Amino acid sequence: MAREKDEKGKAEKSAKRTSKKWKAYNLSGGSLSRKLRSCPKCGDGVYLAQHHDRVSCGKCGYTEFVKKEKAGA
């Protein structure tokens, strides 16, 4: 997709997206704690993505499926 050019012939720049690293941590008092689980294969610093039925690592592909509980039990 081509960007529209202004009067001088230069394309206008699009805004950069900001990092969302601040969503992975919880600040309480004077200490930081992690909200997301770390990957057991990759170690600290690589987090597991949360999906509706599983958690998975984007780096190594490690996946854990979440067990569904029956509503009538």
**Residue 50: count of CB within 10 angstroms of its CB:** 12
Rounded Cα gap, residues 13 and 15, in angstroms = 7
Domains in the chain, number: 1
- pLDDT (tens digit per residue) in 5-18: 656 777 788 888 88
pTM confidence score: 0.59
Tell me whether residue 32 is in a domain. yes
Tokens at residue 4, please?
């529209």
Expressed in percent and rounded to 5, the helix, strand and coil fractions of the chain are 5, 35, 60
Whether 20 is covered by a domain: the verdict is no
Q: Is 53 contained in some domain?
A: yes
Residue 3 has pLDDT above 70, yes or no: no
- Phi, psi angle pair for 71, to nearest 5°: -70, -30
- The tens digit of pLDDT for each residue in 28-64 reads 999 999 898 999 999 988 999 999 999 999 999 999 9
Q: Is residue 43 part of a domain?
A: yes
Find the domain containing 37 and state its range.
Answer: 25-65
